[in-house]
Amino acid sequence: MEPLILRHGGSIGWIEVICGSMFSGKTEELIRRLRRAQIARQRVEVFKPRIDQRYSQTEVVSHDENALRSTPVDSPEQILLLAAPADVVGIDEAQFFDMTLVDVCQQLANDGKRVIVAGLDQDYMGRPFEPIPQLMAVAEYVTKLHAICAVCGAPANHSQRLTAEEGRVVLGAADRYEPRCRRCFQPPRPSPFSSKEGVPLASPYPDAQPAPPAAPDTPQSEK
């Protein structure tokens, strides 16, 4: 899974994205690549969003309980400041950061660092989960992993929320989510023109005019 990297001299940086649904092994793969970098005596710095404290406050932890020491941060700008001495920068649960993460990763790579980012590429509704799609577009290497559907056993590409909670970010593990394939995935069904978070979505027919209201029924006069 790890990209074959050929150095041509000089300080060359790049971005790797590891994405997929929950329980697909994204953090496991991130930890594996970072540990190999440590074995190669490279300076490694690992970061995670501070809000993700499901397993540990100061470690990146996979669902299989493999762990690696990390630094919790509140914003991508902090990564830029703290990653200065590193050769390799790991970022877990990147979907919890805002879009500034894309520029931060670009700058780190332009500075000659290997940047490895892991995160969900879709939210609980099955929609692209920013900033992962944007990072995939600018990355040199993209690895998409799949879990096993909890219903039928097929390759799973979606994260099925099991609770009635609304909001794009609801932290949880097996208590709130399970992996589902395309056939078994059942996202909530909001209005076609508004999201669960109340953000209007673009109409698929932008030039269409709303239909005039129906005329009220007029009672017929008695004959």
Domain locations in the chain as residue ranges: 14-147
Catalytic residue flag (residue 197)? no
Please determine, looking at this structure, whether the domain spanning 14-147 carries the CATH number 1.10.10.10.
Answer: no
Q: Which of 7-16, 112-121, 141-150, 151-160 bottoms out in mean pLDDT, i.e. has the lowest?
A: 7-16
In this predicted model, what pLDDT tens digit does every residue of 15-70 receive, in sequence order?
Answer: 999 999 999 999 999 999 999 999 999 999 999 999 876 555 555 555 555 678 88
More reliable by pLDDT, 116 or 222: 116
Q: Say which range, 8-12, 61-65, 125-129, 200-204, has the weakest mean pLDDT.
A: 200-204
Give me the chain's average pLDDT, please.
83
Asked if pLDDT for residue 209 goes beyond 80, the answer is no
Confidence of residue 218 (pLDDT cuts 50, 70, 90): very low
Do the bridges between strand 114-120 and strand 88-91 make them parallel or antiparallel, or are there none, so unpaired?
parallel
Q: Which residue in the list 16, 93, 130, 178 is annotated as catalytic? A: 93
Residue 223 CA to residue 47 CA, distance in Å, equals: 82
Average pLDDT over residues 142-165: 96
Q: Check pLDDT > 50 for residue 221.
A: no
Over residues 83-101, the mean pLDDT reads: 96
Q: pLDDT, tens digit, for every residue of 161-182?
A: 998 888 888 876 778 899 999 9
pLDDT at 67: 75
